[in-house]
Homo-oligomer: A and B are copies of this chain.
Amino acid sequence: MNPDSPKGRAPSIRDVARLAEVSHQTVSRVLNDHPSIRPETRDRVLAAMETLQYRPNRAARALVTSRSHTIGVLASTSTEYGPATSIAAIEDAAREHGYYVNTANIADASPEGIADALEHLMLQAIEGLVVIAPQVRVFEVLAGAPVGVPFVSLQSTGRSDHLALSVDQVTGARRATQHLINLGHREIVHLAGPQDWIEAEARMRGFLDAIGDAELDLHPPILGDWSADFGYFAGRELLRHRDFTAVFAANDQMAIGLMHAFRDGGLDVPGDVSVVGFDDIPVAQHVWPPLTTVYQDYRESGRRAVALLLNQLHGEQVLEVEQIVPRLVVRGSTAEAPVRHPVARA
């Protein structure tokens, strides 16, 4: 339909050049903000682009510069509140810097599933990688099959082959536990996340540290799967013994399921049992009782991950990241330990 682009194909810089009566190279310079272009020429070129509805061909550009302007995100449970929020923030930040984001979800936790997702990203020729799927195994796979691009982990892994944000989960968990101890609780159970998750392991560590510092007896932690359903299930199990006065759950969903089970079992939260969660998901303050939890800024994590990665990509000095320490948010699900052990009431 447009006489200036004879073929059916999209207009190229050469078509623009012809219309603006310059060389294709001049058009290229306009595109790349080259300094020595006469304003008049630039305007003519821009006008021609407008007329032809020209759009640069990203593939051609990527081919010649061998830069894809794409960063990969390797996620495992992008459905959960935390990861979803971080991913959204990563996308926003990346777009702001002219980058594209390609996400691959790890289907199952198997090495094959991880390798598949990674392979998908590598075929895409990503320039950098953000790992937001913090199973330990993911880093083993990454170490085994080096990706060849800089990558950043959203969790501190203790490894040195990549950068990691320092969201200090350990301290967060420690504070949550400490809060319970300060309230007089002595029998505290930890409902942990899957221990092959970096985050779950860190939260467990914080819990153990606090228990150790206070020289309390250690109840064997329960290993969960992050889901509210599991929290409910774990709560039913715990009800059979009732040898505790507080539970620290590794995330809010499990905490909510837990409270559900306790209510069903006739235990009052926080009267008989205190419960602390982790994450501060948006509904946490609206459930009953409002959940005491640890707030973590997932958006900020996502933003920082991108900043860190782009810094590294552009060869700039990698800024030292200050630790993000999650904040304890005290609400209604925690109270002073009951004077008598709840088992006495049962």
Binding site for B on A (CB under 8 A): 9-10, 55-60, 62-63, 66, 68, 78-79, 81, 84-85, 87-88, 91-92, 95, 100-105, 107, 117, 120, 122-125, 227-229, 231-232, 253, 256-257, 259-260, 263, 282-283, 285-288, 290
Min distance, Cβ A164 to any Cβ of chain B, angstroms: 23
A79 touches B81 (CB 8 A): yes
In-complex Cβ contact of A286 among B56, B81, B256 (8 A): B256
User: Which B residue sits closest to A102, measured CB to CB?
Assistant: B100
Min distance, Cβ A124 to any Cβ of chain B, angstroms: 6
B66 touches A286 (CB 8 A): no
Q: How far is the CA of A289 from the CA of B162 in the complex (A)?
A: 46
What is the count of identical protomers in the complex? Answer: 2
Min distance, Cβ A127 to any Cβ of chain B, angstroms: 12
B68 touches A79 (CB 8 A): no
The 8 closest A-B pairs by CB, nearest first: A59-B62, A84-B84, A260-B286, A59-B63, A78-B88, A228-B286, A257-B286, A59-B59
A68 touches B59 (CB 8 A): yes
Min distance, Cβ A259 to any Cβ of chain B, angstroms: 8
Q: How far is the CA of A100 from the CA of B125 in the complex (A)?
A: 12
Q: Given the known A-B contacts A68-B59, A286-B257, are A103 and B105 also in contact in the complex, defined by CB atoms under 8 Å?
A: no
Q: How far is the CA of A278 from the CA of B17 in the complex (A)?
A: 55
Q: Given the known A-B contacts A79-B84, A102-B100, A288-B288, are A58 and B125 also in contact in the complex, defined by CB atoms under 8 Å?
A: yes
Min distance, Cβ A28 to any Cβ of chain B, angstroms: 16
User: Which B residue sits closest to A85, measured CB to CB?
Assistant: B79
Q: How far is the CA of A255 from the CA of B303 in the complex (A)?
A: 31
Q: Please give, as numbers and ranges, the residues of chain B lying within 8 Å of A257 by CB-CB distance.
A: 283, 286
Q: How far is the CA of A231 from the CA of B286 in the complex (A)?
A: 9
B79 touches A88 (CB 8 A): yes
A91 touches B105 (CB 8 A): yes
User: Which B residue sits closest to A88, measured CB to CB?
Assistant: B78
A78 touches B68 (CB 8 A): no
Tell which of A79, A253, A283 has the most Cβ of chain B within 10 Å: A283
Q: Please give, as numbers and ranges, the residues of chain B lying within 8 Å of A120 by CB-CB distance.
A: 95, 100
B256 touches A58 (CB 8 A): no
Q: How far is the CA of A228 from the CA of B291 in the complex (A)?
A: 14
Q: How far is the CA of A62 from the CA of B58 in the complex (A)?
A: 9
A66 touches B260 (CB 8 A): no
Min distance, Cβ A51 to any Cβ of chain B, angstroms: 16
Q: Please give, as numbers and ranges, the residues of chain B lying within 8 Å of A92 by CB-CB distance.
A: 105, 107
Contacts A91-B105, A92-B105, A101-B103 known; 5 new A-B pairs at CB < 8 A: A55-B125, A58-B124, A102-B102, A259-B288, A260-B285
User: Which B residue sits closest to A252, measured CB to CB?
Assistant: B283
